[in-house]
Structure formats: structure tokens, C-alpha cells
Amino acid sequence: MDRRQFLKWSGIATGAAAVATIGGAADAQDATPGARTAAAHAGAVANAASALPVHGSAARGRIAAPGGQVAVHTPNGSTLTLRLVDGVKVGHLVAGEFDHEFTTGVRARCWGYNGGTPGPTIEAVEGDRLRIYVTNRLPEPTTVHWHGLILPNGMDGVAGLNQRPIPPGETFVYEFTLSRPGTFMYHPHYDEMTQLALGMMGMFIVHPRRPVGPRVDRDFALMTHEWRLEAGARRPDPNAMSDFNVLTFNSRAFPSTEPLLVGRGERVRIRLGNLSPMDHHPIHLHGLFFHETATDGGYIPASAQRPETTVLVPVGSTRVIEFVADEPGDWAMHCHMTHHVMMQMGHARSMLGADTRTLDRRMSRVSPEYMSMGQRGMGGMGEMPMAVPPNSAPMRGGEGPFSYIDMGGMFTVLKVRDDVGSADPRGWFTHPAGSVAGPADAARRRADGIDD
């Protein structure tokens, strides 16, 4: 939405979109064909419980691989259920359409796996034999490409080159052995422009048989993505090549992104994937530094790792960072492309610096609620109780402990706590007395030689 459209809506529109909740989950693997279709349309498959936030000692204590390697947690997401059948780990992905909420007041019809975007994280161990069934409930054919994995050519999932596409209503099976560990992804390789743009993607984690590097206490997976959703539209635009206006971590925009809760002194790993249509994402983490320890190509030797506070995640790539959370607090984590922490706001023109008093006076005769926007910048706009177009949240952020946080989109919070086992992931950090920046009194300014 550009500023002209927003001005129109801010002066005239009177309603906002109603907010619905995503339906419950069902096990699509064991259901009848009719129930399986409904389950794929409405919710998730067998692992619905794992979609709930896992925090504290429970998250740290669940071991997923040899050597005490902890399970990966996908904020706002889930992990695929794998069943052991005659020594083979078996899972089921159902490609389909569903209603998805990016943040309060912003919903769209998306495509994905098992009723969600991103699809469930696949988590296994080096050397495992996997058998993944893929059922297509989309209105067009699809495939699954296992991005970054080394496997037999006939399992690579490129339509026409390695296999025929999976027709609507059919189920194909992929089977391969995980020959090397790492952080990978999965996505279609049929009509990629449409299917990726509508949300078909997921993370694929292969733990090493023998742990590499220091043991981590927390392991997170975040998929970055960008969407074009016009105000009032019910489906993202798969033809968009620029000016994406909904930017997300795991297909959620702040303030609906689940925070990353960790304990002070814990070692933390964050796995970042990017299957955005066009843009790379420089992900910046406040309050600490980290080392980039791996890419989807493999582990980075310790001698080649550098301390950083921002990691660039190119399109079609994964990056893994690790750090020790040694400073308590609520730390911002976000894409540092500034337009990627805004919501549904076009950038075609600006009124910055304009004197709009005459315009405001004349427009108020037609629409008493009218207000000009952007003449002094855009800060604070999200707090104004103005009407917005249906199914939109332009410039919306979220409430913070001190004031309104005027960032949205690809933004989340790393919460470092001393008492992580009992900490509320929705609660804010309690700052020690005298440790928060605030007004400087005149006497102190004079004592330090500061002139007003």
C-alpha cells in the first residue's frame, strides 16, 4: 500500500479486519482420505503438541542426537513426527492450502505443509535412513527438493529432470540415507515462483553422529521470508519482485514472533534459512557477538570463524551462528534492511519536511478524521488509533516495557534470563536500578561540561 492509499483509508475507513484463530490439529497420516484432506486444510499433523512454545529446562533437556545434542526448537512452528519402521524413519508431508495469520489482523490464504508455513522442521541424525511420503492437496502438481542434501539423483525432486511432478491427490515417496550432517531446507521444484511465494518451505536439520564443537544448551531454527500482501487481499502476490511488505521469521511478523528464551551463561545456536523470492537478509543481534559456525555447505573450521554481530543470509542459503548469552535482558534480533521491519507500507513517495497545515485544514472539511502522515517522519504512527484497511497492519509494531516498539515484520526478541527455568517468555526484563538510559538533569550536565 502506498501513502496515497493509506491517506485515503486513514481519513475514510472505519473498520479493521476481524481476527480469527487457526483451527486445531489432526493426524493426517492416520485419517481416512476425507478426514486427511480436512486435516491438511485446517491444521497440522501428528506432532501438533510440538508446535507449542517449549521453554526453560524442558527445552534444554530434550536430547535429539548422540553426545547430548539437544533438539531443535522452531519458534511458532513444529517438528515433523518420524516413526521407526524396520529401521527406517518414516514421515509424512501433506502439501495444501490453509488460512495463515502473520500477525494480529493480517491473515492470508497460503500454501505449505501439514497445515503450516514454514512446514514442520525435519530433524534426524547423520546415517539415518529416511522415508518421506508427500501427499499433494494443492490445485496443481508439486515436488519436494531437499535443498543442500547429498542424495541419489532420482530423489532430488526437480520436476521433469529427476521425477515427474506429483499430481493433485496423489502421494509420492522419497527415500534416502543422510550421508552428512548440517542445516538444510526443503521446498518445491515445480512452479517455484508461485509455490515458494505462497509459503512452501521448511528447515531440515541433520545432527552429526559425533558432535562438532562445544555442546549447545539451546538450538533454534528460523526461516526468513518476504511476502507481498496488498491491504484487503486474501492471498500473497506470487508475481511480486520488489517492495515486499510483510517480512517474517517463521512466517510470523512482530509482535507475533515467539521470543527466544535462553538462560544466562548458556551456549545458544541459531540456524537461519532464507528462501525469500528476491532479498538477502542481514540479521543483526543486539547485546552480544557470535561466530558463524556453519553454512548449508558444511561446518566452518574454528580457525576461519570470525566474531560478528550481523550475519548475511543470502537467498537460497542457511547460516548457523553460536554464542554464549552472558548479558541478561531483552535483546532485539532483526533484519537490518530498515524497510524489512515495517508492515505493508509503500515507499513510492514521502512528505517528509512538508508543511501540511493548509492541506490538513482543507481536508478536514471533507473528512474530519483526516490527518497528514510522514511530514516529520514515520515514528509513532503505529500508536495512533486510526482506522486501517481490512487485513492490514501498516507500520504496526507492538507494546514494549517502556513505550511502543515501532518495528514490525522481521523482528523478534532474544530474552536472556538468570532464572530461565521459571521465566515467563512473555514477560519483560526487570532492569537493575540506575541501569536504564533516561533524562539528564541540569546539574549533572553542567558538572560534565555539557551545554544545552
Q: Report pLDDT for 36.
A: 37
Which residue has 539528564 as its cell numbers?
440
Q: What is the mean pLDDT of residues 178-200?
A: 96
Q: What is the mean pLDDT of residues 205-233?
A: 94
Domain membership of residue 116 (yes or no) is yes
Evaluate if residue 143 carries a pLDDT over 60: yes
Q: In terms of DSSP bridges, do strands 202-207 and 171-177 run parallel, antiparallel, or are they unpaired?
A: unpaired
Q: Report pLDDT for 342.
A: 66
Q: Report pLDDT for 69.
A: 97
Q: Report pLDDT for 9.
A: 40
Evaluate if residue 7 carries a pLDDT over 80: no
Evaluate if residue 345 carries a pLDDT over 80: no
Domain membership of residue 358 (yes or no) is no
Q: Report pLDDT for 59.
A: 47
Which of the four pLDDT bands, split at 50, 70 and 90, describes residue 434?
confident
Distances in Å between the Cα of 3 and the Cα atoms of 9, 147, 348 are 10, 39, 8
Q: CA torsion, points 343, 252, 283, 72, in degrees to nearest 10?
A: 180
Q: What is the mean pLDDT of residues 326-334?
A: 95
Cell of residue 302, nine digits: 574454528
Cell of residue 326, nine digits: 552472558
Distances in Å between the Cα of 153 and the Cα atoms of 83, 182, 196, 296, 311 are 25, 19, 22, 19, 32
More confident residue, 279 or 209: 209
Chain-wide mean pLDDT for the chain? 81
Q: Report pLDDT for 11.
A: 36
- The pTM assigned to this predicted structure is 0.78
Evaluate if residue 346 carries a pLDDT over 60: no
Instruction: Report how far apart the first and last C-alpha atoms of the chain are (Å, whole number).
Output: 41
Q: DSSP label at 30?
A: T
Chain segment 13-40, per-residue pLDDT in tens: 333 333 222 233 333 333 333 333 333 3
C-alpha to C-alpha distance for 348 and 345, rounded to whole angstroms: 9
Evaluate if residue 304 carries a pLDDT over 60: yes
Most confident among 173-187, 233-247, 370-384, 437-451 (mean pLDDT)? 173-187
The domain that holds 288 is classified in CATH as 2.60.40.420
More confident residue, 416 or 361: 416
Q: What is the mean pLDDT of residues 337-355?
A: 57
Q: Report pLDDT for 386.
A: 56
Whether the Cβ atoms of residue 98 and residue 116 lie closer than 8 Å to each other: yes
Evaluate if residue 378 carries a pLDDT over 70: no
Q: Report pLDDT for 388.
A: 62
Distances in Å between the Cα of 351 and the Cα atoms of 3, 72, 355 are 9, 46, 9
Chain segment 63-109, per-residue pLDDT in tens: 999 999 999 999 999 999 999 999 999 999 999 999 999 998 899 99
Range of the domain at 210: 3-14+26-335
C-alpha to C-alpha distance for 61 and 149, rounded to whole angstroms: 28
Domain membership of residue 419 (yes or no) is no
Helices (H), 346-430: 357-366
Chain segment 400-413, per-residue pLDDT in tens: 888 878 677 788 89
State the total domains in the chain: 1
Q: Report pLDDT for 396.
A: 56
Q: Report pLDDT for 22.
A: 29
C-alpha to C-alpha distance for 252 and 246, rounded to whole angstroms: 9
Domain membership of residue 69 (yes or no) is yes
Domain membership of residue 400 (yes or no) is no
Evaluate if residue 203 carries a pLDDT over 50: yes
Q: Report pLDDT for 387.
A: 58
Residues in a beta bridge with 286: none
Evaluate if residue 351 carries a pLDDT over 60: no
Domain membership of residue 413 (yes or no) is no
Q: Report pLDDT for 13.
A: 33
Q: Report pLDDT for 403.
A: 81
Q: Report pLDDT for 5.
A: 43
Q: Report pLDDT for 370.
A: 62
Evaluate if residue 118 carries a pLDDT over 50: yes
Domain membership of residue 64 (yes or no) is yes
Q: Report pLDDT for 397.
A: 59
Domain membership of residue 368 (yes or no) is no
Whether the Cβ atoms of residue 137 and residue 97 lie closer than 8 Å to each other: yes
Residue 164 neighbours by CB distance under 10 Å: 11
